[in-house]
């Protein structure tokens, strides 16, 4: 019923939990004192030996007890608040930092919607675990034992019966838990599935509208929501049932204690005052455990969420070693990769990329080019085989050090909301305006931006107030300013206008004179002048060499080349 790992996650909360239990326990002691006084007064009233002094004394004690209980309750609540706060702060920070470390790779562990739900609601429910459940857990053990000790001064049999009765509550909780655990894990799965579907529909709304598939997806979404409603109801029913069982045990147990007290009163083994005290305190045996039971379900929910949090936190941290890169080689030895552990998307890749050279990777769609680029840029990790960069194993190089030397540009570069300057400084905060304008000249954006607000021109989210070609040219300027040692372009010129394409290709060739550049392109015309062309087919490298060498070889590359040439010549003829 307690997860040690979880406490280990936020050890700072321990002291608040201990103080919380302390306050609650003192509250119980104060309550016992008050009940003792009330029992005394009632017993004397019934016996007719009651005096005004006693009434006054009991009144004063009761007021004092009530006031101190209020203060103690405030203290316990305050401690609960402080430990919840710690949990929220620390846990969210830990998850966030882990996500930063993992970068885009977190999606291999949990989907974006899951991460959002777990860090919001999941953490919220864990707050109950630390703020309410854990302290209550210990208090619920401590309280009956304390009462048992008090009872044993005059009638230990009743104390023992009640003490045993109390344990029926956790037993019933444990019985319910077996069933609850499976149900809750299904509940969370369904919840996150619904979140995933929702997020996807939202992001793809334009596409859905265009294909008029929004209604259909709407129905699907409704189905998911209905499943979620059903499982939520099951969870609620389970919780209600278990609360009913706990109530039965708690109030039945207290009633049993009272009945025994009455019997003992009759046979004279208890005084009237003791009998009244037992009746007044019998319920207190059970109430803490009963409260624990009601926290238990929320805490269970939190624990189910914590499994997912642990999954994120348990992901291995990237390596820590540094990289001293001085224009060396990037070497792949027998590298294979599979997304699902079965189908090899890359198969025994052996290739060396050199600095000061332009290497091109070509091949039909689906041949594994982007997967290779993702491995080269550490977006995917742990392939089979060795990836060696300047004599060092890639997996031993820390991400931060690695990315200080590598820039990746795909056909969907992200332009952030903010100014042109903000976007350009992303790769290198140290650059000045002059350097920015130089880069903008190179990509032929300078004239356009001068008509606007220059470097302060405001850009929308995803750069949506620029054309596709302009976005890509801006992304290229940003990449050039990053001044990396290795540049990897994955179809950086697809989906844009011919003019922008030519401009970007020209810049890539310029860059390759001083850097290591790897360019993936489906247009062979763009790679003709590369120093080194790698031809891929179904995850394998089938040929490599210069354009002339490959044509002479009369293989796969030649076929591709002739097919594309015929297509483009045909287009020209038509024009």
Ligand X SMILES: Nc1ncnc2c1ncn2[C@@H]1O[C@H](COP(=O)(O)OP(=O)(O)O)[C@@H](O)[C@H]1O
- SS3 sequence of 321-368: ECCCCCCCEEEEEEEEECCCCCCCCEEEEEEEEECCCEEEEEECCCCC
We find the least distance from the C-beta atom of residue 569 to ligand X, in angstroms, to be: 25
CB 515 within 8 A of CB 486: yes
Q: Report what 27 binds from Mg ion, ligand X, none; CB cut-off 5-8 Å by kind.
A: none
Helix axis angle for 52-102 and 134-152, nearest 10°, is 150
Using CB distances below 5 to 8 A depending on partner kind, what does residue 83 bind out of ligand X, Mg ion, none?
none
Residue 64 binds which of ligand X, Mg ion, none (CB < 5-8 A, kind-dependent): none
Return the number of the residue (370 or 470) whose C-beta is nearest Mg ion: 370
- Residue 227 or 344: which CB sits closer to Mg ion? 344
**CA gyration radius, the chain:** 36
Please name the residue that has the structure tokens 């909301």: 417
206 vs 365, which CB is nearer to ligand X?
365
- Of the two residues 371 and 407, which places its CB atom closer to ligand X in the complex? 371
Q: Are the CB atoms for 257 and 278 separated by under 8 Å?
A: yes
Query: In sequence order, what are the residues at sequence separation of 6 or more whose Cβ sits closer than 8 angstroms to the Cβ of residue 537?
Result: 363, 364, 367, 556
Measured from the CB atom, the residue of 339 and 414 that comes closer to ligand X is 339
Q: Using CB distances below 5 to 8 A depending on partner kind, what does residue 368 bind out of Mg ion, ligand X, none?
A: ligand X
The answer to whether the beta carbons of residues 199 and 107 sit under 8 Å apart is: no
Binding partner of 405, given ligand X, Mg ion, none, CB within 5-8 angstroms per partner class: none
Site for ligand X, rule CB under 6 A: 339, 345, 363, 365-371
Kindly state the smallest distance separating residue 96's Cβ from Mg ion, in Å.
31
Q: Which residues pair with 337 in a beta bridge?
A: 346
What string marks each residue from 352 to 371 as x (binds Mg ion by CB under 5 A) or -?
------------------x-
Q: Taking the complex as a whole, how short is the minimal distance between the CB of residue 512 and ligand X, in angstroms?
A: 21
Residues forming a β-bridge with 386: 333
Instruction: Name the minimum Å distance from CB 351 to Mg ion.
Output: 17
- Kindly state the smallest distance separating residue 341's Cβ from ligand X, in Å: 11
In whole angstroms, the minimum distance from the beta carbon of 362 to ligand X comes to: 9
Owner of token pair 């069933």: 179
Is 415 strand, coil or helix? coil
Question: From CA 152, how far away is CA 496, in angstroms rounded?
Answer: 86
Closer residue to Mg ion, CB minimum distance, 373 or 420 = 373
Gap between the Cα atoms of 104 and 542, Å rounded: 30
- Out of Mg ion, ligand X, none, which partner does residue 457 contact, by CB within 5 to 8 A per kind? none
Whether the CA torsion 470, 472, 478, 481 is positive or negative: it is negative
DSSP, collapsed to helix, strand or coil, labels residue 432 as coil
User: Cα angle at 567 between 563 and 570, to 5 degrees?
Assistant: 140
* Sequence-distant (≥ 6) Cβ neighbours of residue 213 within 8 angstroms: 207
Residue closer to ligand X (CB basis): 107 or 456: 107
Query: Of all residues in this chain, which one has the CB nearest to Mg ion in the complex?
Result: 370
- Between residues 127 and 347, which has the closer beta carbon with respect to ligand X? 347
Query: Minimal CB distance to ligand X: which residue?
Result: 370
Residue pair 456/420 in contact by the 8 Å Cβ criterion = yes
Closest contact distance (angstroms) between CB of 243 and ligand X is 45
CB of 375 to ligand X, least distance (A): 10
Partner whose binding site includes residue 371, from Mg ion, ligand X, none (CB under 5 to 8 Å by kind): ligand X
Question: If contact means CB under 5 to 8 A according to the sort of partner, which of Mg ion, ligand X, none does residue 356 touch?
Answer: none
CB of 111 to ligand X, least distance (A): 12
Return the number of the residue (92 or 522) whose C-beta is nearest ligand X.
522
Residues that bind Mg ion (CB under 5 A): 370
């Amino acid at each position: 019923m307690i997860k040690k790992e979880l406490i280990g996650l936020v050890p700072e909360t321990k002291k608040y939990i201990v103080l919380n239990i302390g306050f609650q326990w003192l509250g119980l002691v104060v309550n016992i004192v008050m009940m003792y006084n009330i029992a005394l007064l009632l017993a004397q009233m019934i016996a007719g030996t009651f005096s005004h002094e006693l009434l006054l004394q009991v009144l004063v004690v009761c007021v004092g007890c009530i006031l101190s209980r209020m203060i103690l309750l405030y203290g316990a609540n305050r401690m609960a608040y402080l430990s919840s706060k710690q949990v929220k702060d620390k846990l969210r920070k830990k998850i966030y930092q882990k996500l930063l470390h993992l970068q885009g790779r977190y999606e291999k562990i949990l989907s974006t919607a899951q991460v959002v739900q777990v860090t919001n609601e999941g953490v919220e429910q864990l707050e109950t675990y630390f703020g309410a459940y854990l302290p209550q857990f210990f208090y619920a053990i401590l309280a009956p034992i304390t009462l048992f000790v008090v009872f044993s001064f005059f009638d230990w049999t009743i104390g023992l019966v009640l003490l045993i009765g109390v344990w029926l509550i956790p037993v019933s909780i444990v019985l319910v838990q077996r069933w609850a655990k499976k149900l809750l894990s299904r509940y969370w799965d369904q919840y996150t599935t619904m979140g995933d579907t929702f997020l996807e529909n939202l992001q793809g709304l334009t596409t859905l509208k265009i294909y008029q598939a929004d209604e259909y997806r709407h129905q699907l979404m409704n189905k998911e929501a209905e499943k979620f409603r059903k499982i939520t109801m099951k969870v609620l029913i389970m919780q209600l049932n278990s609360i009913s069982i706990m109530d039965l045990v708690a109030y039945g147990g207290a009633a049993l204690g009272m009945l025994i007290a009455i019997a003992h009163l009759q046979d004279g083994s208890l005084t009237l005052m003791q009998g009244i005290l037992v009746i007044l305190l019998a319920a207190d045996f059970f109430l803490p455990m009963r409260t624990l039971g009601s926290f238990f379900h929320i805490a269970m929910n939190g624990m189910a969420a914590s499994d997912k949090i642990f999954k994120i936190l348990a992901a291995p941290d990237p390596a820590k070693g540094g990289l001293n890169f001085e224009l060396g080689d990037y070497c792949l030895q027998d590298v294979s990769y599979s997304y699902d552990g079965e189908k090899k998307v890359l198969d025994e890749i052996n290739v060396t990329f050199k600095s000061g050279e332009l290497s091109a990777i070509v091949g039909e769609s689906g041949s594994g080019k982007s997967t290779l680029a993702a491995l080269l840029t550490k977006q995917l990790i742990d392939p089979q085989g060795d990836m060696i960069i300047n004599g060092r194993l890639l997996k031993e190089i820390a991400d931060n050090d690695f990315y200080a030397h590598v820039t990746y540009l795909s056909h969907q570069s992200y332009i952030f909301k903010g100014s042109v300057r903000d976007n350009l400084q992303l790769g290198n905060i140290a650059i000045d305006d002059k350097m920015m304008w130089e880069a903008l000249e190179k990509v032929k954006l300078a004239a356009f931006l001068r008509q606007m607000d220059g470097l302060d021109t405001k850009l929308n989210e995803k750069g949506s107030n620029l054309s596709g070609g302009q976005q890509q040219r801006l992304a290229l300027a940003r990449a050039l300013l990053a001044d990396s040692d290795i540049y990897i372009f994955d179809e950086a010129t697809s989906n844009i206008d011919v003019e922008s394409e030519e401009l970007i290709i020209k810049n890539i060739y310029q860059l390759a004179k001083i850097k290591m550049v790897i360019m993936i392109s489906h247009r062979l015309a763009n790679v003709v002048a590369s120093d080194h062309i790698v031809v891929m087919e179904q995850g394998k490298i089938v040929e490599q060499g210069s354009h002339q060498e490959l044509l002479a070889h009369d293989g796969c590359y030649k076929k591709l080349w002739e097919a594309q040439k015929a297509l483009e010549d045909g287009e020209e003829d038509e024009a």
